[in-house]
Structure 1
């Protein structure tokens, strides 16, 4: 489908300003961005006069489709063993989960869906578009990160069973031991060229730095434990939740780490959450961290992220930095900024048309376009 968006106010996240122009969409991509485009061929015309056009928003930490709510329908945790790297998020996602419709009607076009945090090494995260009939339709990248978890969650699963890990020492020790075995396997393969072991091959993209670890960590000491292990092995990683990150700034200030904060409006249901503060968003941003805001669905819904950031802007967060937290920052954290996160020629045609400022609670999404198709229309 060819689509022409006419006369929109297009937001440039890299420059932090609006431009008035038309956008031509063709073959699922943004083909042209120019004022007064002269297009005479047959296409779908969208009049965006007086409306604002933004890149599709991105939620880089979600269990959408895997976890229908907080009490049942949980396919995100395989808690029969604390180390399950072979679990794949895409094998647990229901593409007909109504939450996909909810968030694309709120302007979200891409999500990273991840296994839960019940296990130390929980499995493989996947990147999906929020529109499609099957996982194949939605899939961007099936193995985009390997999920790890530090802190209370693995302890609370296995400790009551009198299994390891029942302590933070065991969490770090077991993760370190697993990675030592994986590195040894890769080294042996290079020397001896023996037949591949499917299980240990799962770690190859991590060891070869093709993909990052995706690390669940709330408390400051858990964050630092995760960093120690990653630096020991030379891994790439993102720090997800990062609840006490603002309290250990001096220890991490020189590290270029993608930080995925969230969920917002968090209930402090565990001891490791008691020092959480919404002020951390502004403070960490001012300290230079590249922050993405995430929902951790179903513990929050992505449609509330823009409202939360609107409140943060009211309290002093820079507006463009807030928009980046839902666009180019998560795109970079997920290694797909060449495809999504900003409105540029050649990128995926994931665009959202609003009747106002997307961070203003009274604003509505008029049209959501995903992969060059109209995925939602308010009309």
Structure 2
């Protein structure tokens, strides 16, 4: 029996070593972060600030050189020389919905069918994902779990980067419905010579007709108070016509963006958000006039057209911002690359968004406004959730973004992750040779 027990204990020890840290325990004592540079998320910076929070809520943010606080029964943490930021928000994300792209059993982000507004992404959200600790180690403390596939993919939810299960992690349920707009032009990638072939989309007309019928049915259904029997697909779209939910439209070409927004507005949709927007600079006046925000896809890419400036994707946030369009940034193509979200804002700051605090807003307060959670998070202000992080340097610069402390609703989060464990393993191996 003893011989059998030893390998079992060894296996348990190895398994526990590879697991994510347990979710943080609730805040039990008021905490004051003292002396750091506080980036509020509104554009304001307090060089020698104090952030005080209790029971998971920010109770004060002040200039430590001019205001004295009663710090009795408060845990004081000196962060002098460091920077305090609101938690970064990653929209258009599949974090928690897929783990290893090549392993089907770990991918749960799409449903069969074309029109699936009733699909809810949050129930598939896996809080045990090993990717989640890696993104919060770069300050990404929220992600929008977004369904994929079909023409209407389903509804997204805003999730926190800490929790035992999706019920613990969810910040806002079913914040919006996702629509993949049928494109005027279709792009096919040729793997033989790595070129992209652009052709006319012959199925576009039939797809738009089906969408028009679905939205018309949903609008009529939304006028009913207690429909019997309940239609789950149409019920899930009710919030689009009351302003409770966003309609997120994936569209890149300028023509598609204009048609998609016009389509949604004509059918009574209250809030429209363009996602992707690779050619949004071509219709910037239209977006401004219709008060349509844009969540841009990753900036670290080549331009859509061969005749465009090679740095156009880098400059795109600045172009939209200067025109008065509300801009958010995303890393929609790679769930594991979400950890680099802050550096997209850094790129924007270097290519047209001259104020770094404005660039920061594109991954904090701007995104919070777009997702409808700005009353809870996105800035470091009294009454909002104490979800923030402390970095050794500028969070938008990959050379200095070293996250040292993370708090989610006041809970101090363990910053261990798989990357750090593997680094230590191989560092020890090669240093001891």
Partner residue in 2 for 1:110: 142
Partner residue in 1 for 2:316: 280
- The whole-number CA distance in structure 1 between the counterparts of 2:290 and 2:219 is 24
Q: Residue 133 of structure 1 aligns to a residue in which SS?
A: coil
Shift of the 253–15 alpha-carbon distance from structure 1 to 2, 3 Å rule, reads: closer
- C-alpha contact (below 8 Å) 1:354/1:367 kept by paired residues: yes
Partner residue in 1 for 2:72: 40
Match status 1:186 vs 2:208: no
Match status 1:31 vs 2:68: no
Matches within 5 A, 1:1-379: 1=27, 2=29, 3-34=31-62, 35=64, 36-41=68-73, 43-72=74-103, 73-78=106-111, 80-116=112-148, 118-151=149-182, 167-187=203-223, 189-190=224-225, 194-235=228-269, 236-266=271-301, 277-296=313-332, 298=334, 301-318=337-354, 319-363=356-400, 364-377=402-415
Q: Residue 69 of structure 2 aligns to a residue in which SS?
A: coil
Give 1:315 deviation, angstroms: 2.7
Task: Tell me the number of residue pairs that the alignment of Structure 1 and Structure 2 aligns.
Answer: 366
- C-alpha contact (below 8 Å) 1:172/1:225 kept by paired residues: no
Moved over 6 A (4+): 153-157, 267-271, 273-276
Give 1:290 deviation, angstroms: 0.9
Structure possessing the higher radius of gyration over alpha carbons = 2
Shift of the 97–269 alpha-carbon distance from structure 1 to 2, 3 Å rule, reads: farther
Give 1:32 deviation, angstroms: 2.1
- C-alpha contact (below 8 Å) 2:153/2:180 kept by paired residues: yes
Q: TM-score, normalised by structure 2?
A: 0.78
- The whole-number CA distance in structure 1 between the counterparts of 2:184 and 2:172 is 27
Q: Residue 288 of structure 1 aligns to a residue in which SS?
A: coil
Partner residue in 2 for 1:162: none
Q: Deviations over 1:169-227 (max 9, x none)?
A: 2232221110111122233x25x964433332111111222111111111222212210
Give 1:140 deviation, angstroms: 1.0
Unmatched 5+ stretches in structure 2? 1-26, 189-200, 421-433
Give 1:50 deviation, angstroms: 1.1
Give 1:156 deviation, angstroms: 9.2
Q: Residue 155 of structure 2 aligns to a residue in which SS?
A: strand
- C-alpha contact (below 8 Å) 1:90/1:142 kept by paired residues: yes
Partner residue in 1 for 2:6: none
Q: Tell me which moved more, 23-32 or 335-344.
A: 23-32
Give 1:263 deviation, angstroms: 2.1
- C-alpha contact (below 8 Å) 1:68/1:298 kept by paired residues: no
Shift of the 372–307 alpha-carbon distance from structure 1 to 2, 3 Å rule, reads: same
Q: Deviations over 1:233-291 (max 9, x none)?
A: 221111111111112224434121111011232478999x9997222122111111111
CA RMSD of aligned residues (A): 2.8
Give 1:148 deviation, angstroms: 0.8
Partner residue in 1 for 2:15: none
- The whole-number CA distance in structure 1 between the counterparts of 2:184 and 2:309 is 15
- C-alpha contact (below 8 Å) 2:40/2:379 kept by paired residues: yes
Partner residue in 2 for 1:160: none
Q: Deviations over 1:74-114 (max 9, x none)?
A: 31111x21001111101222111111111111001111111
Give 1:358 deviation, angstroms: 0.9
Shift of the 197–253 alpha-carbon distance from structure 1 to 2, 3 Å rule, reads: closer
Q: TM-score, normalised by structure 1?
A: 0.88
- C-alpha contact (below 8 Å) 2:43/2:361 kept by paired residues: no
Give 1:304 deviation, angstroms: 1.4
Give 1:354 deviation, angstroms: 1.0
- The whole-number CA distance in structure 1 between the counterparts of 2:170 and 2:133 is 16
- The whole-number CA distance in structure 1 between the counterparts of 2:239 and 2:69 is 44
- The whole-number CA distance in structure 2 between the counterparts of 1:100 and 1:268 is 30
Shift of the 91–193 alpha-carbon distance from structure 1 to 2, 3 Å rule, reads: closer
